[in-house]
Homo-oligomer: A and B are copies of this chain.
């Protein structure tokens, strides 16, 4: 029943990589907390680099 939200910058993440993130997080919750994978939800948000700030600057500017 856990819900996991992963926010990353939108910089060409493949379907395969998303699948790996989702499998990896789900397995982690099963192994550490014995959660039920059937109701474990993972949502990935890809954020444009001009909408992500770190150290007071957009990532778009840092790249």
In the complex, the chain B residue whose C-beta lies closest to that of A26 is B56
Contact of A27 among B17, B29, B41, B56 (CB under 8 A): B56
Number of this chain's copies in the assembly equals 6
Given contacts A1-B41, A8-B33, A43-B3, contact A19 B57 (CB under 8 A): yes
- Using a CB–CB cutoff of 8 Å, the interface residues on chain A facing chain B are 1-9, 13, 15, 17-29, 32-33, 35, 37-47, 50-61
Besides A1-B54, A18-B51, A43-B51, 9 other CB < 8 A contacts?
A: A1-B9, A4-B4, A15-B60, A21-B28, A22-B53, A23-B56, A26-B55, A41-B53, A44-B52
| 5 A-B pairs with the lowest CB-CB distances in the bound complex, closest first | A22-B53, A42-B53, A26-B56, A44-B51, A24-B28
